Chains A and B, each alone.
Chain A
Amino acid sequence: MTDTLTPVLTANWGDKAPWKIAEYEKQGGYDALRKALTMTQDEVMNAVKDSGLRGRGGAGFPTGMKWSFVPQSNPNPKYLVVNGDESEPGTCKDIPLMMATPHTLVEGVIIASYAIRAHHAFIYIRGEVLHVHRRMQQAVRDAYAKGYLGKNILGSGYDLDVVVHAGAGAYICGEETALLDSLEGRRGQPRLRPPFPAVAGLYASPTVVNNVESIASVPSIIANGPAWFASMGTEKSKGYGIYSLSGHVTNPGQYEAPLGITLRELIKLAGGMRNGHELKFFTPGGSSTQILTKEHLDLPLDFDSVAAAGSLLGTRALQIFDETTSVVRTTLRWIEFYKHESCGKCTPCREGNWWLVQMLKKFEAGHASEGDLDKMLDVASNIGGRSFCALADGAVACLQSAVKEFRSEFEAGTHTPAWELFPYEKSALFAASERTAVAASHTSLSTSEAGEGAEEDAKVTAPPPLLNARDADEVVVAEAEAAGDIPTQLNEVFEPKTNDEGGRA
């Protein structure tokens, strides 16, 4: 029986400086590379195939099989591209991995490139994570200096160059063909497939695009053997994976476990839901996967079980929300994300998500009309499956599942604002009292500065329209004032984290 948690990738994250090459070598780092270089390329490929490793970036395609699709008869150079554009809402596993143990990824890159016979590899990392770039750039530099990269690696005759590449802010570049366009110095827009990247990817040459966690898993498979990897997990979802818990649990964070662990087990490990609250809904693998509810607490979180329940394992990004959360508000904010991140190439996605946002805002404000719900679902059904890539499908999955599970909350959007049904302060982590204190100090500041044109200034500095909580907040301020308990010192009232009693200091 395998243990409940099985740290492999995360095993050294708590060490003093695990990002340094000397520390990595002390832990047996680059031994898997030495072993791989004694094997033939096909033996390495077969080991990964036999392990049953499926892509950790969301789609779950068998990694070894993806490698074997690279046509070795094609005379063009072969490329490996690592997808480190981690941007799917809820997903937060690759960033800490690259920050803590970048050499695990570098070693995986060398082994994978060797297997597919690539001499150039790229690690594409989203731009908005500065320190990750520093750590990855340093790791690659140090690997060159030690002879793990460059010409004639460890005397094997094998050459490999690796470039760490920064994106510049675009969720869509996590889609593999958009990523390739972006890496070619273009707008990141998905390509029509086929041809698939394995045949015509970067520079129209055979290319493998793999997620960070997939590639980082390779050294352990080579070092310990495919049977070791396959001894963890379920029959069709083998191995370990990092589960990322976020939201209303006591201890959000990273939990590395054999595939197939349940949310009930994970929430227990995370210290339960935050004090006094209960689970309302969660995403199994990021916002692009259909939301699930407490009836799915015992669902094994592996590829096939989650698919059978009508959702997707995705990136194991478990965003967990308690009963204080408005589903309408949350869905609006997810759809706003898709609207913002749509690359604009396909009309249904570009225009449709825009329309969904307009409609969802009406539901949030309690201004929706009878028939708007059906209209919104109709718009959604005209987006899904009608675009080049899965961004549109993800948006639709999120909306449709929210309506399916919580229809009555959307129906309430025809008469009652979401922030009245679910006062937003109650979902926030910090005490609303802290906010009222800050708000009160701002109010006095603006009053003292008020002069001519103050009204116009107020308009300019008014919070963005989505911050409807403002009105509710003013009520809270008024109530607090009436009760005479507006605190004067922020530090007196601030309690770090999880003061969820909110609103009534």
Chain B
Amino acid sequence: MSGHEFESYFPESGGVDYADTSTNIDELTIGELRELASRYPQARSALLPMLHLVQSVDGRISPKGIEVCADILGISTAQVSGVATFYTMYHRRPAGKHHIGVCTTALCAVMGGDILLDEVGKKLGINEGETTPDGMFSLERVECNAACDFAPIMMVNWEFMDNMTPAKASDILDKLAAGREVRSTRGATITSLAEAERVLAGFDDGRADEGPAAGPASLVGLQIAQDQKWSAPKPEATK
């Protein structure tokens, strides 16, 4: 091996999985997809939220979902699948009920994210990109999730699990597997990837008031300023 052999640049590419035609999309879903399309000055702008809704209903980007989106927006199925396969949040095959992301971009990796991903994978018995046979968990190595001051971080259904350690992650996974309540450190009670995707599509789940305003790291500067009585100048003093 010289290390220069050809390797596919997009190992996960291959488009939508047309071998699996199962779907849960019904008239209600189609109505909701139409509603999303109506929220924008030009309907096609709704495509990303619509695909989030497809994923919420079908657990993945299904052939039926592609077809319905194309039909509603008046574009080709190739245009829809071209978009679906570009973005990493859209899955070709069903993700788990709970989708686990571990950040391994440089800073999280260095702070322990590599170890964390390794441990979570071993705990679940799967590699990144895979789903457990019971459909309960899927695992993904995520790129920087904008929580570097809480590194290393893990995401569960795109909710923050800050300052993670292998022991804390193990505990969270045990609780989720047992169907017990788990709360995000900066978010709501964990529901499921399907319910999360529905919110991302733009449908309220009534949980906005759950969780704190901010995590501890978000407040360190403010705390010091309050202790030191530091503040921005009074407007009168700058007139």
Chain A residues near B (Cβ < 8 Å): 2-8, 10-11, 13-20, 77, 86-92, 94-96, 99-101, 120, 126-131, 133-135, 137-138, 141, 163-171, 182-188, 203, 223-225, 227-228, 231-232, 240, 243-248, 251-257, 269-270, 287, 317, 319, 321, 325, 329-331, 333-334, 337, 340-341, 343-344, 350-351, 354, 358, 362, 424-425, 427-430, 434-435, 438-439, 442, 460-461, 463-464, 466-467, 469-470, 490-491, 494, 496-497
Contact = CB atoms under 8 A, between A and B. Distances in A.
Nearest to B112: A428
Interface size class of B (residues with CB under 8 A): 35 or more
7 contacts: A17-B213, A20-B209, A91-B148, A131-B186, A133-B200, A166-B202, A246-B148
B95 to A, nearest CB: 13
Contact of B111 (A257, A428, A435): A428
Given A227-B239, A228-B235, A130 B111 contact: no
Contact of B73 (A168, A185, A354): A185
A470 B48 contact: no
Contacts of A91: 144, 146, 148
B28 interface: no
A128 B224 CA distance: 30
Q: 7 shortest A-B CB distances, which residue pairs?
A: A185-B47, A255-B221, A253-B220, A169-B88, A246-B148, A168-B87, A3-B230
Contacts of B127: 460-461, 464
B199 to A, nearest CB: 6
Contacts of A424: 110, 114
Interface in B192-210: 196, 199-202, 204-205, 207-209
Contact of A14 (B52, B105, B115, B219): B219
Contacts of A287: 106
B225 A254 contact: no
B217 interface: yes
Given A185-B48, A438-B170, A319 B107 contact: yes
Contact of A497 (B51, B88, B163): B163
A358 B3 contact: yes
Interface of B: 3-4, 9-10, 39-42, 44-49, 51-52, 73, 82-83, 86-90, 101, 104-107, 109-112, 114-115, 117-119, 121-123, 125-128, 141-152, 155, 157-160, 163, 165-167, 170, 184, 186-188, 196, 199-202, 204-205, 207-209, 211, 213-226, 228, 230-233, 235, 237-239
A17 B208 CA distance: 11
A187 B51 CA distance: 13
Max count, chain B CB within 10 A of own CB: residue among A89, A131, A232, A334: A131
A19 B213 contact: yes
Nearest to A322: B110
A131 B4 CA distance: 43
A429 B111 contact: yes
A333 B89 contact: no
Nearest to A93: B146
Contacts of B52: 127, 166, 168
A383 to B, nearest CB: 15
A254 B218 contact: yes
Nearest to A428: B112
A17 B209 CA distance: 8
Contacts of A470: 118
B217 to A, nearest CB: 4
A5 B224 CA distance: 8
Contact of B208 (A135, A182, A467, A494): A135
A337 B144 contact: yes
Given A231-B237, A438-B166, 20 more contacts: A3-B228, A6-B233, A13-B219, A99-B214, A129-B160, A130-B196, A131-B187, A184-B45, A188-B87, A224-B238, A228-B233, A232-B233, A329-B109, A333-B109, A334-B106, A428-B111, A461-B126, A463-B117, A464-B141, A469-B118
Contact of B232 (A7, A183, A246, A330): A7
A166 B51 CA distance: 11
Given A87-B143, A329-B110, A168 B48 contact: yes
Nearest to B51: A168
A435 B220 contact: no
B58 to A, nearest CB: 15
Given A10-B222, A134-B188, A461-B125, A170 B213 contact: no
A254 B217 contact: yes
Contact of B101 (A95, A128, A325): A128
B44 A15 contact: no
A247 B151 contact: yes
Given A99-B214, A184-B45, A228-B233, A247 B111 contact: yes
A251 B217 contact: yes
